[in-house]
């Protein structure tokens, strides 16, 4: 698979030993392992435990004074929008669609897409997000698409490219272009691409059925904004998929706020998953985050940043928002939701949502070494009694000291590696001045 090949090559086939950090694993549930080591060999987690021997040629990283845990997983982000950050605060979903999707998006050239996606992906890595589903609805031309994928690859993040063909495009052309993207950019790697579907709720039943059938034909999962309008629309969308015999195709339901509990059970039985964006769902008045209800139905339930046009882009903000909104549910049903539950959503459940549960999301030996080291020698993290609670409730982006993706060190000592960050920022600024007017 492409991301495994990239991770292996970029790690230069070397061994790395993270020595003496307080280690948190998430499999089978978030657990503090205490002061331990993590051995990485050829990009893969080889062993976790205290006082592991350092093999000849192993780079030893002093992790003392840090918390070591799996990298975070963001299951839905419109990454191209990093150049229009905070352009639409204090707003609503209709206003967002009008301003960003219909007014600003058409101004984007391929170079703007590349600048925004590269900057957005590096923003993720900088904050400890090592895996990202880029829900990309900026495919004005094939050049836009190519620039998007190339920026994701250049960033060094582990990604799934969520390909959304324009709403106004016809199904035949959509299928041709999706096949091209898969063939030219991913080859046989079907775990690095998904069909980002506009239907059946946004673009109608016919479009939705065409998207799901295309995904089934290509062997790709679906990621769709469904359940975010109202209860009637949510039920109607599921019914469309059931009538077409497509509900059982692997799919992630984004903004599933308005599904009834019975609908969640049907989605769970179909093998589906849910992506919750607690910040945009509340700030854009989409609905109350369905975190606890979705998890109660047995659905893998994950977190996502959605858009920095109207909300934060780091996982720490998302974890805190999810935790707080669930804990204060009006019916009191969320009081059993814990910091361990939300860390699970940010890591292993996110990986499971993307079909990558056997690749990332925990420290199980044999998985790709996607790791984060968080500093504890700051006033905001010092003397934390519960490391998991500290990650969820106290840490922030400045806590992120070191990040590895597939064993490759992409951030060390608080600095991103391998990129000219001033140049990246200059490209974003130039693009923002042109498209955000």
pLDDT in tens, 395-419: 999 999 999 999 999 999 999 999 9
What is the DSSP annotation of 325-353? HHHT-TTSGGGG--HHHHHHHHTHHHHHH
Query: For the segment 358-369, what is each residue's pLDDT rounded down to a tens digit?
Result: 999 999 999 999
Q: What is the pLDDT of residues 61-118, one digit of tens each?
A: 999 999 999 999 999 999 999 999 999 999 999 999 999 999 999 999 999 999 999 9
Tens-digit pLDDT profile for residues 327-350: 999 888 999 999 999 999 999 999
Query: Can you read off the two tokens belonging to residue 342?
Result: 């939300």
**What is the reported pLDDT for 12?**
46
Which tokens in the block code for residue 283? 């700030």
3-state secondary structure of 196: strand
Structure confidence at residue 195 (pLDDT): 98
Q: Check the CA dihedral 255-257-259-263 and report its sign.
A: positive
Cα–Cα–Cα angle for 283, 289, 293, rounded to 5 degrees: 175
- Answer whether 299's CB lies under 8 Å from 341's CB: no
- Assess whether pLDDT exceeds 70 at residue 48: yes
d(CA 104, CA 107): 6
Q: Which CATH class is domain 2-70+363-416?
A: mainly beta
CB 284 within 8 A of CB 366: no
Could you tell me the two tokens for 216? 């089934």
28 upstream amide cis, omega within 30 of 0: yes
Average pLDDT over residues 371-394: 97
Tokens 């539950």 found at: 341
Beta strands 193-197 and 31-41, pairing class? unpaired
pLDDT at residue 288 is higher than 70 = yes
Half-sphere exposure of 199 (CA within 13 A, CB side): 26
Angle subtended at Cα 199 by Cα 136 and Cα 173, rounded to the nearest 5 degrees: 70
- Cβ atoms of residues 327 and 334 within 8 Å: yes
pLDDT at 384 over 60: yes
Model pLDDT for residues 247-280, shown as the tens digit of each residue: 999 999 999 999 999 999 999 999 999 999 999 9
* Pair 351, 359: CB distance under 8 Å: yes
The span from the CA of 228 to the CA of 201, in Å, is 9
From CA 400, how far away is CA 372, in angstroms rounded?
Answer: 7
Average pLDDT of the segment spanning 48-71: 96
Percent of the chain with pLDDT over 70: 97
Mean pLDDT on 193-215? 96
Phi, psi of 196 (to 5 degrees): -90, 105
- As a whole number of angstroms, the distance between CA 48 and CA 210 comes to 46
pLDDT of res. 436: 80
pTM score above 0.85? yes
Mean pLDDT, rounded, for 307-322 = 97
Looking at residue 11, what is its pLDDT? 39
> Is 60 exceeded by the pLDDT of residue 4?
no
Q: Mean per-residue pLDDT for 47-66?
A: 95
Centre a 10 Å sphere on the Cβ of residue 137 and count the other Cβ atoms it contains: 19
CA 203 to each of CA 106, 165, 212, 226, 334: distance values in angstroms, whole numbers, following the listed order: 18, 11, 13, 11, 34
Given this model, what pLDDT does residue 55 score? Answer: 85
Q: What contacts 97, CB < 8 A, 6 or more positions away?
A: none
Residue ranges of domains in the chain: 2-70+363-416, 72-353
pLDDT at residue number 80: 98
Q: Is the pLDDT of residue 202 over 60?
A: yes
Check the CA dihedral 116-121-124-125 and report its sign.
negative
User: Across the chain, what does the average pLDDT equal?
Assistant: 95
What is the homologous superfamily of the domain 72-353 according to CATH? Answer: Metal-dependent hydrolases (3.20.20.140)
């Amino acid at each position: 698979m492409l991301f495994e090949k990239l991770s292996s090559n970029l790690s230069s086939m070397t061994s790395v030993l993270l020595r003496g950090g307080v280690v948190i694993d998430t499999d089978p549930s978030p657990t503090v392992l205490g002061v331990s080591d993590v051995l990485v060999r050829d990009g893969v987690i080889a062993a976790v435990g205290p006082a592991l021997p350092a093999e000849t040629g192993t780079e030893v990283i002093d992790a003392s004074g840090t918390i070591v845990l799996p990298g975070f997983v963001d299951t839905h982000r419109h990454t191209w929008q990093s150049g229009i950050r905070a352009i639409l605060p204090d707003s609503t979903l209709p206003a967002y669609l009008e301003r960003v999707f219909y007014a600003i998006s058409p101004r984007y050239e391929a170079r703007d897409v590349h600048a925004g996606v590269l900057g957005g992906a590096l923003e993720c890595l900088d904050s400890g997000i090592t895996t990202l589903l880029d829900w990309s609805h900026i495919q004005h031309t094939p050049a836009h698409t190519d620039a998007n994928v190339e920026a994701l690859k250049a960033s060094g993040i582990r990604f799934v490219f969520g390909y959304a063909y324009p709403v106004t495009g016809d199904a035949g052309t959509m299928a041709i272009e999706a096949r091209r993207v898969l063939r030219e950019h991913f080859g046989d790697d079907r775990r690095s691409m998904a069909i980002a579907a506009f239907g059946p709720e946004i673009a109608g039943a016919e479009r939705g059925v065409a998207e799901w059938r295309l995904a089934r034909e290509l062997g790709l999962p679906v990621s769709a904004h469904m359940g975010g309008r109202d209860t009637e629309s949510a039920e109607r969308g599921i019914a469309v998929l059931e009538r077409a015999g497509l509900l059982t195709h692997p799919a992630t339901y984004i903004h599933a706020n308005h599904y009834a509990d019975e609908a969640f059970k049907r989605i769970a039985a179909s093998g589906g998953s849910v992506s919750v964006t607690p910040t945009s769902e509340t700030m854009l008045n989409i609905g109350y985050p369905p975190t606890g209800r979705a998890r109660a139905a047995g659905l893998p339930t994950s977190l996502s940043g959605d858009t920095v046009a109207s909300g934060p882009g780091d996982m720490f903000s998302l974890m805190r928002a999810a935790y707080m909104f669930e804990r204060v549910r009006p019916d009191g049903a969320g009081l059993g939701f814990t910091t361990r539950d939300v860390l699970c959503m940010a890591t292993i459940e996110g990986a499971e949502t993307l079909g990558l549960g056997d690749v990332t999301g925990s420290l199980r030996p044999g998985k790709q070494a996607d790791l984060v080291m968080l500093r504890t020698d700051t006033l905001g993290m010092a003397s934390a009694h519960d490391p998991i609670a500290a990650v969820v409730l106290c840490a922030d982006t400045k806590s992120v000291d070191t990040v590895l993706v597939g064993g490759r060190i992409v951030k060390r000592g608080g600095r991103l590696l391998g990129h000219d960050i001033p140049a990246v920022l200059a490209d974003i600024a130039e693009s923002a001045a042109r498209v955000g007017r």
